[in-house]
Chain A
Amino acid sequence: MAVEQTDYEEIPGVILTDRNAISDFVKKTKAQDILNWGRKNSLWFTVNAMGCCGVELLSTGMAHYDTDRFGIIPRNSPRHADVLIISGYVTKKYLPALTRIWEQMPSPKWVIAFGDCAISGGPFYESYSTHQNVDQIFPVDVFVPGCPPRCEALIQAFFELQKKIEAKQDRGTEY
């Protein structure tokens, strides 16, 4: 659900483009490897604690695990973040807010489904008020099962995401 792109205003002395020719060209060259190396080593994530797994998400960002050494830093604004961690059940009321967070994040961006609730609904898999099959709404790269998964599992998920980005297999960018 991208914002519809309108024609740019005429600015004197400035030439603007609405095409991706440069980035499309770069994707075919070795320069993309360097870009991806930079991206995979600065996976900042949104602090978006949605359920009980959110507690694990918060502790992962704390000093004990020291994820800063991998470039994984919690950010309080989705506009600073690269990774959206869906850390709980998505209720029908919350889905618009979550979609808005996702749209506020600048590309390139990735999604991790953290915990059983985000993957399948968990204990709420038959519920009337939760959204089923969140992976059909967001391009989920890594699923982390567990109820809740441990902080180490989340760090492992980031490593898997880094491997995917390095191999250009992630769903954040169209290669």
Chain B
Amino acid sequence: MDANTMIDSLSTQFPDAVFDTKVESKIRIFAKVKPENIKDVCMYLKGNLSFGHLCCEFGIDFPDRNEIEVVYVIGSYDHSVVLTLKALLPRDNPEIESVVSVYWNASWYERETYELFGVKYLNHPDLRPLVLPEDMLGEWPLRKDYKGFPNKTAKNLV
């Protein structure tokens, strides 16, 4: 199965949920997905298209478009195609279904995206900050309008 048939299969299965598909090369394909369908799409990808390996999951902040993108990069153990899946969330209330039940390693990615961008993952088994202290929750340091950076209080600069 090559990249084009995979994209066609995905679009046919989810005609409403998957849009803006793009085949960049034989090994890189892109798609955008509606946030409410992300879990179904991931289950289909894992079950039918053998995308068994979630390489990473992260957020991107777009203040001018008032959106936060959650990006899933999914690879496979059986073929060489890598799929980049994007879900667009509103910036004032970013909520998306967790994919931990499909890809178990998404747990820490989602915890980190939660603490840094404030994306709320629904039905996540253990949604708490990963590396930031608890009292920094709510500051969302990687958003573009974060005020705490750069922190200019350092003295003794070497």
Contact = CB atoms under 8 A, between A and B. Distances in A.
Interface residues of B, number: 18
B104 interface: no
B156 A126 contact: no
Contacts of A88: none
A119 B148 contact: no
Contacts of A126: 149-152, 154
Contact of A120 (B136, B139, B158): B158
A145 B158 contact: yes
A92 B134 CA distance: 10
Contacts of B155: 120, 132-133
A126 B158 CA distance: 13
Contacts of A93: 131-133
A3 B155 CA distance: 30
Contacts of B141: 128-129
A126 B153 CA distance: 8
B77 interface: no
A156 B149 CA distance: 36
A143 B136 CA distance: 30
Interface in B122-158: 131-133, 136, 139, 141, 146, 148-158
A173 interface: no
Nearest to A146: B158
B157 A125 contact: yes
A129 B156 CA distance: 18
Nearest to A119: B156
B153 A133 contact: yes
B149 A128 contact: yes
A121 B154 contact: yes
Given A92-B136, A93-B133, A132 B158 contact: no
B43 to A, nearest CB: 35
Interface in A112-129: 116, 119-122, 125-129
Given A93-B132, A93-B133, A120 B149 contact: no
Interface string A81-122: 000000000001100000000000000000000001001111
B128 to A, nearest CB: 13
22 contacts: A92-B133, A93-B131, A93-B133, A116-B158, A119-B158, A120-B156, A120-B157, A122-B158, A125-B157, A126-B150, A126-B154, A128-B139, A128-B141, A128-B146, A128-B151, A129-B132, A129-B136, A132-B154, A133-B153, A133-B155, A135-B156, A145-B158
Interface of B: 131-133, 136, 139, 141, 146, 148-158
Given A120-B157, A127-B149, 19 more contacts: A93-B132, A93-B133, A116-B158, A119-B158, A120-B154, A122-B158, A125-B157, A126-B150, A126-B151, A126-B154, A127-B151, A128-B141, A128-B149, A129-B132, A132-B151, A132-B153, A132-B155, A133-B154, A133-B155
